[in-house]
Amino acid sequence: MRRCELVGEPVGLGPHDHVAWAHEGTADFRRGLVAFLDEGLAGDEQLLYYAPREQSEMLDDVAGLAQSSGLLESGRLRIVPVTRRTSDFTRLETARMMQGLRDRVADALSGGFHGLRMASEVTPTFTSAEDSAAQLRLECVVDQITARLPLVALCAVDGSSVVGPPEQALFAMHHLRGGLAGVDAPWLSAIDDDTWLLRGQVDLVNRHGFAAALAALPSAMSGTALHLWVDQLEFIDVAGLRALVGLADSMSDHGRVVLHSPPSWLSKMIRLAFGDVRGLELVGGEGWIPGCAR
Amino acid sequence: MNTRLRHEAAVFDSTEHMLHVVVPFLDEATAAGTPAVVRFGEEWAARLRDRVADPGRVDFVGGADDENPIRAVRAMNEAAQGHLEAGAPQIRLVGGVPDSAMSSRWAWEQWARYEAAFNEMYAELPAVALCCYPAWPAGHVHDDIAATHPRLVGGDGARENSSYVDPRRFVADRNPAPAERLDEDAPALELHDPHPGIAREAVRRLAERAHLADGQVEDLVLGANEVFTNAFLHGSRPVELRGWVADDELLLSIRDHGVGVDDPFVGMLQPPADRPEPGGYGVWLARMCSDLVTLRRDPDGFTVRMTARAR
């Protein structure tokens, strides 16, 4: 099971870790990025840095890394500027990108490395609703890949822009979070393909961010059932539940949402507030509701 | 044919007496092709099934054992709604109140208010609703039955009831409910604009101090959170959370400084699932999750109070 916790800096990480880190500006980002990549060097990992930035700026970002030129020349460190808006990528292109990421992990392993360490700075993608939604869909896929493969992923964002539901959703999709100021998100982390763990509390403070994160999950599905383990969910209010129920309803023609091991209070709340829900199945736990699934 | 609600009460001194009134009421509906829905405890329901002309034409629904009226009537409401949506011009409803609710002042308080509210909430419902009560409960219960039903069924059929009281006046005259008088002492809990998680934890601890059962604690936390959320989203700060505990009883007060709502019956009906805007669930859920919810406006703000008693 991947740990869900707050971290101070993007270091102390290992395979399968996916961290969101709110930095305090360019200098702070570069310091954290270098520390993150440095740790990868020490751990015999292949390094990848991609971001929606100019190549020259990205070179400056990694300049603090010892022997960065040599690392770039040898291919140990690769930098990939992304020039297109995230929302411009078609789903097929996104799927190809993700396959490309899997291939890079495989390449790293076949090259004798222990895995791949990937960093990104995604602040520019949170300037429009379309881009942020696309970024969230991307994060879903990355989190699923990270859960399964020896990949360490850092998703950095300027802390001063962490103000709204899309940024909350971004943090919700990372089981490790650093440099947080005021972000109070539940935890939604991949366990396996189409299978997620939902932890923490969903309420007035983060309900919109939770809904945005939840809405992104189907984009990463390979099957027809979205599985959510909710035994560690501490609280969800009616609005959060409505997002969940709405997702199940929207998927009901071609799939379903399966809640695994719901606590008794959650089963009761679904029953009280929504009764039978199309496309929602509750399995195991204290509160299995016969007939809740259709 | 009536196109508006007829809300009637009948008091029975025996099961046979009940059957004498309810069986013809249902058989008449069957003969006229009028759908009928019955929410009775198993004993009375079984007797009815044996005696009505066509039990297959009567919907027997669950919920009869639930002391909370908002939860108890839910299945009946859904069945009634289904018949109306299918085109029935009129329906007949028969229901009762659990014995335990009639012998508990806490539980009865919410039922009495619900019976009053029923007249206003369902005024346009094309239905005859027959509420069946036994004769044994204390006199104040029968006073409330008379005050909340515009028609009473006697030996000579249903007649207009001169003891009926306007629903809003009925509710206003009952405030504060006995359960609310815990606030005569200093509060055991007082928080101003707390983080929702801190508010929930405080409510949980208070509920445990009142020895509420685990399920009741969960319910109260859920309901209080929704009221608290409403206060933050729709009211004006500061939002004040207060709580009192005495023996096995608990009172929560959630107050904001906005104008609130002027309808004492808010949340007694389930919000329609197809409402275009989300919301409207808060007080409804709070009513299902506690023994009594009261709403109060005053010149300085709006207060929702929830009470619960250990079972």
- Right CATH for B6-172 from 3.40.710.10, 3.90.1170.10, 3.40.50.300, 2.40.30.40: 3.40.50.300
User: pLDDT band at A294, cuts 50/70/90?
Assistant: very low
Of residues A94 and A154, more confidently modeled: A154
Which chain A positions have a beta carbon within 8 Å of B61's beta carbon? none
Cβ neighbours of B252 (radius 10 Å): 29
Task: Categorize the per-residue pLDDT at A83 as very low, low, confident or very high, splitting at 50, 70 and 90.
Answer: confident
Q: What is the pLDDT of residue A288?
A: 38
* Cβ neighbours of residue A23 closer than 8 Å, sequence gap 6 or more: A29, A32, A156, A157, A158, A159, A179
Q: Which CATH number fits domain A5-183: 3.30.590.10, 3.40.50.300, 3.30.420.10, 2.130.10.30?
A: 3.40.50.300
Strands (E), chain B: 6-12, 36-39, 58-60, 91-96, 127-134, 151-154, 157-160, 189-192, 240-246, 249-256, 292-298, 301-309
Find the CB nearest B222 among A201, A269, A274. Answer: A269
Question: Are A231 and A261 within 8 A, CB to CB?
Answer: yes
Name which of B195, B219, B226 is nearest A237 (Cβ-Cβ).
B226
Residue contact A272–B229, C-beta within 8 A? no
Count of CB pairs separated by less than 8 Å, A with B = 48
- In CATH terms, the fold of domain A191-283 is Transcription Regulator spoIIAA (3.30.750)
Domain ranges across chain B: 6-172, 179-309
Angle ∠(B291,B74,B9) on CA atoms, nearest 5: 80
Q: Which of A204, A272, A275 sits opposite B285 (nearest CB)?
A: A272
| B207 Cα to chain A: minimum distance (Å) | 15
* Per-residue pLDDT tens listing for chain B (311 residues): 556 899 999 999 999 999 999 999 999 999 999 999 999 999 899 999 999 999 999 999 998 899 999 999 988 999 999 999 999 999 999 999 999 999 988 889 999 999 999 999 999 999 999 999 999 999 999 999 999 999 999 878 899 999 999 999 999 999 888 778 888 889 999 999 999 999 999 999 999 999 999 899 999 999 999 999 999 999 999 999 999 999 899 999 999 999 998 888 999 887 766 655 556 788 999 999 999 999 999 999 999 999 999 98
pLDDT of residue A133: 87
Residue pLDDT, tens place only, A128-142: 888 888 889 889 989
Q: Domain locations in chain A?
A: 5-183, 191-283
Q: Which CATH architecture has domain B179-309?
A: 2-Layer Sandwich (3.30)
Distance of CA A253 to the CA centre of its chain: 26
By the 8 A CB rule, do B242 and B190 touch?
yes
* Model pLDDT for residues A158-179, shown as the tens digit of each residue: 988 766 888 889 999 999 998 8
Task: Give the chain B residue whose CA is nearest to the CA of A236.
Answer: B222
Six-digit token string for B105: 């002042």
What is the structure's pLDDT at B104? 86
Q: Global pTM?
A: 0.87
More confident residue, A4 or A257: A257
Q: How close, in Å, is residue B51 to chain A by CA atoms?
A: 31
Residue-wise over B132-143: b if at least 16 C-beta within 10 A, else e? bbbeebeeebee
Query: Closest to B281 (Cβ–Cβ): which among A203, A205, A238?
Result: A238
CA A236 to chain centre: 20
Nearest to B285 by CA among A51, A105, A274, A28: A274
Q: What is the pLDDT of residue B3?
A: 63
Contacts B220 to A, Cβ<8 Å: none
Nearest CA in chain B to A204: B229
Whole-number percent of chain A with pLDDT over 90: 66
Taking a C-beta distance cutoff of 8 angstroms, is the pair B251, B103 a contact?
no
Verify whether the Cβ–Cβ distance A238 to B196 is below 8 Å: no
